[in-house]
Structure 1
Amino acid sequence: MYVAVKGGERAIDNAHAWLAEERRGDVSVAELSVAQIREQLALAVNRVMAEGSLYDPDLAALAIKQSRGDLIEAIFLIRAYRTTLPRFGYSEPVETGRMACDRRVSATFKDAPGGQVLGPTFDYTHRLLDFALEAEGLVEEAATGAPREAETPHVTAFLNAEGLIQEEHVPEDDRPRDLTREPLELPAGRPLRLQALTRGDEGFVLGMAYSTQRGYGRNHPFVGELRIGTVPVEMEVPELGFSVEIGEVVLTECETVNQFTGSKSEPPQFTRGYGLVFGQTERKAISMALVDRALRWEELGEDNVGAPAQNEEFVLYHSDNIQATGFLEHIKLPHYVDFQSELELVRKLRREAMVGEKREAAE
């Protein structure tokens, strides 16, 4: 039960004003623009779009500015705004094989068909502070060409040609439920699990993925392919009777290849884990693929070894940082009545205990 605090409205208004002042910071320093955040903090923008389930770099940058860099608060703002938007329809499934790749690597084949494209990555950088960035000078442009426009086939397709990797079957009901419009229900099918993971907190999903690598889930993956690039988005227009391209989005896709010795229902073969996330979000996509594979234990006829990453309820219900934040931070709100009742209970128990001790001493 919550009770009103006298003068609370004025205190809240003052808190808002103070927050705005703290957000602005030293007025002698130039204010950070939304465009600067969008262009120079792109990885933070990508995370907010992915976990906020809304692809709009400008709005994500605005949310980061408004939240003073608190990405979970920014994700909350984006999700709240998303609920106000009208839904005109659903786009067609994107064809990632048509992706114009900025980056495309495989840890399974050195000479992967289509080639390895390192792209912009921290993988080969030294983890040393670059104090030259303090100079705020112009950065020399990299000697790179434009993203490839030709279709780049998936590496797993070449394994599949030999029948070495499990076939992916489209369920009879090929339109998955929409987690942004319907509450999560368990047991969840794989499409719904993937939706939850792509919206899940990056740190949580990373921790779950790391646990599988350390033996909690018997999951030893290879990155079959990691690709980042732009894909066209199409939507069917009923008045036209065919699909038209309505825009483009940048995606990160990861397919892991996992050894599988077979079960009563499946022959020895490689199996897949899958991750797909807005923007350049490599760590999240790889983590998502590892957790996806761990959660597939039942359909593959594997044993459940009791690993956290194999527990669908544990993973899906605790990966959503907005739900977790709301439940955690509500304890900051007034609980005066609740606490007073518990305080009286503890006092009563202490009095009864003291009476009992005196009675025992007298006997």
Structure 2
Amino acid sequence: MYVAVKGGERAIENAHAWLAEERRGDTRVEELSLAQIREQLSLAVNRVMAEGSLYDPDLAALAIKQARGDLIEAIFLIRAYRTTLPRFGATAPVDTGEMACDRRISATFKDAPGGQVLGPTFDYTHRLLDFKLAAEGDAQEAASAEPRDAPMPHITEFLQGEGLIQSEVDDGREPRDLTREPLEFPADRPLRLQSLTRGDEGFILGMAYSTQRGYARNHAFVGELRIGTCAVEMEIPELGFAIEIGEVELTECETVNQFTGSKTEPPQFTRGYGLVFGQSERKAIAMALVDRALRWKELGEDNLGAPAQDEEFVLSHADNIQATGFLEHIKLPHYVDFQSELELVRKLRREAGEARKEAAE
């Protein structure tokens, strides 16, 4: 049985020391450097940046190392650090149409202007363990291509030119910032997209998969998936114009979805949208599918009662830090609560036993 831990602060300090020892592992094995994590575990780094809402590969690598590879713990560390940073301005919206693409594919048009750029992808691998990677120092020289610097128009622009897809309208309102304000319902689409971007990849994936299996009746095509770098610009009041302050790697996905029309809208395609830090195409596609499922009300569609259509259910449970905190708090001391439950069960058992005796007599 569990008993109260004695020792207090000393016990906690010893637990921290033991954790540090476990994190380091066998000292005969060379320690991982942040550069190794950043460069060779880049997809893990990308996930931590996306769900931690902070684009900094070095800090994400540090968080992964400190968390012993537990990505949710690393995301927690990044979010906690983010809250300590001063905010001195806001950048202009990035233009993904100007993205220098490493990868750009479409499942809707074979001969898209700009071409299909396969880029670095697992899609065509055989999913067999490569034991050459176990041979230390056996570095394979890879053939790499330069990113496409020429602007690639979005595939959906061609559909929009014919009026075949719903136009995205900017209502001019400043989007609420989910990193500074609590989530409130009903949530508009910009707020939903922020929540989905920060949401747990596994949860968003599960929700997206449910829509493909009929729980939302929402068949989608990947109109375009692109990965590359975008310039980040910031308006400088003293200068009177914007200057480029850096660049970020992004994954963007637009899905093309069927829409039969309504009393005010003709039959046309609609969109789902996903945008994530780094190379995170599974997350971006899943996000686009869930985004489209959540748009049922504004598009005048029927709510089929699917989980992915329930805004409050999806957004309230997508955040893995909130979920982890609530789940893991039950391992902390609950002695008083349990004793009250224990006394209640004992009382009920006594009353039930006395009732059986009376019935037997």
TM-score normalized with structure 2 length: 0.98
Equivalent position SS for 1:260:
coil
**Separation (CA, whole Å) in 2 of partners of 1:350 and 1:94:** 65
Q: Deviations over 1:161-194 (max 9, x none)?
A: 1000000000231x20000000000000000000
Structure 1: which 5+ residue stretches go unaligned? none
1:27 aligns to 2:24 (yes or no): no
The equivalent of 2:170 in structure 1 is: 170
Amino acid of the residue matched to residue 191 of structure 1? Answer: P
Report if aligned partners of 1:265, 1:301 keep a CA contact under 8 Å in 2.
Answer: no
The equivalent of 1:296 in structure 2 is: 295
Amino acid of the residue matched to residue 317 of structure 1? Answer: S
The equivalent of 1:89 in structure 2 is: 89
Deviation at 1:264, TM superposition (A): 2.3
Q: Deviations over 1:232-269 (max 9, x none)?
A: 00111111121111100000000000011112232100
Q: How many percent of aligned residue pairs carry the same amino acid?
A: 83
The equivalent of 1:62 in structure 2 is: 62
Equivalent position SS for 2:269:
strand
Amino acid of the residue matched to residue 199 of structure 1? Answer: R
The equivalent of 2:117 in structure 1 is: 117
Residue pairs, 1:186-205, within 5 angstroms: 186-205=185-204
Equivalent position SS for 1:166:
coil
Deviation at 1:89, TM superposition (A): 1.0
Deviation at 1:5, TM superposition (A): 5.1
Amino acid of the residue matched to residue 326 of structure 2? Answer: F
The equivalent of 1:277 in structure 2 is: 276
Deviation at 1:141, TM superposition (A): 3.3
**Separation (CA, whole Å) in 2 of partners of 1:97 and 1:4:** 59
Equivalent position SS for 1:122:
coil
Deviation at 1:302, TM superposition (A): 0.3
The equivalent of 1:342 in structure 2 is: 341
1:255 aligns to 2:254 (yes or no): yes
TM-score normalized with structure 1 length: 0.97
* More off after superposition, 52-61 vs 141-150: 141-150
Amino acid of the residue matched to residue 149 of structure 2? Answer: E
Deviation at 1:148, TM superposition (A): 1.3
CA RMSD of aligned residues (A): 1.2
Amino acid of the residue matched to residue 254 of structure 1? Answer: C
The equivalent of 2:237 in structure 1 is: 238
Deviation at 1:295, TM superposition (A): 0.2
Q: Deviations over 1:246-295 (max 9, x none)?
A: 10000000000001111223210000000000000000000000000000
Report if aligned partners of 1:265, 1:300 keep a CA contact under 8 Å in 2.
Answer: no
Amino acid of the residue matched to residue 327 of structure 2? Answer: L
The equivalent of 2:9 in structure 1 is: 9
The equivalent of 2:354 in structure 1 is: 355
Report if aligned partners of 1:155, 1:224 keep a CA contact under 8 Å in 2.
Answer: yes
Deviation at 1:6, TM superposition (A): 3.8
Amino acid of the residue matched to residue 99 of structure 2? Answer: M
Equivalent position SS for 1:304:
coil
**Separation (CA, whole Å) in 1 of partners of 2:4 and 2:27:** 36
Amino acid of the residue matched to residue 10 of structure 2? Answer: R
Residue pairs, 1:187-226, within 5 angstroms: 187-226=186-225
Amino acid of the residue matched to residue 254 of structure 2? Answer: E
The equivalent of 2:40 in structure 1 is: 40
Residue pairs, 1:140-151, within 5 angstroms: 140-151=140-151
* More off after superposition, 224-233 vs 350-359: 350-359
Report if aligned partners of 1:105, 1:116 keep a CA contact under 8 Å in 2.
Answer: yes
Deviation at 1:10, TM superposition (A): 1.3
Equivalent position SS for 1:269:
coil
Report if aligned partners of 1:233, 1:248 keep a CA contact under 8 Å in 2.
Answer: yes
Amino acid of the residue matched to residue 188 of structure 2? Answer: G
Deviation at 1:138, TM superposition (A): 4.4
Report if aligned partners of 1:266, 1:301 keep a CA contact under 8 Å in 2.
Answer: no
Report if aligned partners of 1:103, 1:228 keep a CA contact under 8 Å in 2.
Answer: yes
Equivalent position SS for 2:284:
helix
**Separation (CA, whole Å) in 2 of partners of 1:47 and 1:352:** 54
Deviation at 1:358, TM superposition (A): 1.0
**Separation (CA, whole Å) in 2 of partners of 1:34 and 1:41:** 10
After the TM superposition, list the runs of 4 or more consecutive aligned residues in structure 1 that deviate by more than 6 angstroms. Answer: none
Deviation at 1:80, TM superposition (A): 0.2
Deviation at 1:143, TM superposition (A): 3.1
Amino acid of the residue matched to residue 226 of structure 1? Answer: L
Structure 2: which 5+ residue stretches go unaligned? none
